[in-house]
Each structure stands twice: as C-alpha cells, then as structure tokens.
Structure 1
Amino acid sequence: MSSYNYRTSSSPPPYQEDSRLLCLDGGGTRTICQLFILGEVTHRLAWDMGLIDQKTPHSVTQNLAPADFFDEIGAGGMGAFVAFLLTCGLSVEAAREHYMHAAPRIVHALSV
C-alpha cells in the first residue's frame, strides 16, 4: 500500500508493482450484492492489516472506506456508479445507502 493520498493529490498515483485493484461488475440492480460482499472483504482486510482484532464486530468496520485499501477502483454499468461513490471515499454502508436511493431513478431514466 503506497502513501499516495488520492484525496489531496492532483496528479495520478505513481506506478507500483503491487497495486491493489477492485473491479466491480455492471449487473444492473444486482450490483447491491457486490456491496454486501465488499463489506465483508473490507472487514477481513482491516483484520489482516491489524486495524481490528478477531472479536471486533462488523458494525465497527462498516465506516471504513474501500478507497483506503485499494489503489484503483473500476467498473462498468451500474457498478461504475458504485465505483464512483467508493472512489470519493464513501464507506460500503454509505455507498449502499446512496445506491439504494439513486438506483431506481437511474434505471427508470435509462428505460424511458
């Protein structure tokens, strides 16, 4: 994990061989499943990195941002909307709430 801070830098991150990539699928409204899985992945990454111990409940880690664990986040379709939310530094829980609020309107607008 590099010390590059995407929130304060105006230049692209430096190249590194050990980049951590998060790729999300499009999947339309099924994208919500990826967020539940990503919540578990984020919890396990926090444990692997020593940020929490084995007994820490998921409620403590639900505010961690995947952008702090992954160097690049990308996706297609509705997954790109989620990738945008996560890249902005939202936690999985916050991204899930935004997605649930916006997805019906986005899908409706695309079908008109």
Structure 2
Amino acid sequence: MTTSEKHDERMATMTFASVYPHYLKKVERKGRTKEELNQVIEWLTDFDERKQQELIEKKASFETFFQEARLNQHAHLITGMICGYRIEDIENPLTQKVRYLDKLVDELAKGRKMEKILRKA
C-alpha cells in the first residue's frame, strides 16, 4: 500500500515524546500499565525504559527513534489493519515501523495477552 509523501514525512518528523503520552493514556484507560507499554516498546525497539525516557527528553523524531532502534527480528509478524492501512502492505519502511508500534499499543489496549503481542516465530 502506498502512503502519500506528505503522510510519510509527517511520520518521520513526529516526535516520540508527542505520541508516548497518548499511548500511555490509551492503555491505562483500558486497565493496562505503563510497565506493559514500556515492555511492548522494548520488545519492538530494544529500548529499555531508561533509553525510552532519554528519547522523550531529547524529543527524538520517529525517524531518529527508529534509526537508533534494533527492530525485533519478529516484527514482520505484526500484520493487520491500523489507521486504515494494512501494515504488511505499507511500502515506506519508516511509516511501516511507526505503524508496527501503533498496532502493538492498540493490541495492548484491547486486552490481548502479552505473549500474543510479543510475537515469536
């Protein structure tokens, strides 16, 4: 699936710091915890809580965020629809990574079991 150039640029320049509070609010509203959110982010990016906080404080863009990340080898198993896009069909690699994160947060908020969210081959 092709996203627009404007959409991809917006994904690249958006900061992790601007989105993280929304992720946290979303999962807490559904009875999940900050620790679970951080665990999901760490699974995808290999960023522990300290590194996540560092990226928030320096207002890292998603482009920087994912350049520094070591994407989980099983991230390609994240499939389905998020925000009107089929994740596995997104052509822009950065936009796809951002949508991976969105999908994991969505699954956490919907009450999916952690062992299902943290995909294994």
- Please confirm whether the aligned pair reaches a TM-score higher than 0.5, indicating the same fold: no
TM-score, structure 2 normalization: 0.26
TM-score, structure 1 normalization: 0.28
Which structure has the higher relative contact order (CA within 8 Å, separation 6+)? 2
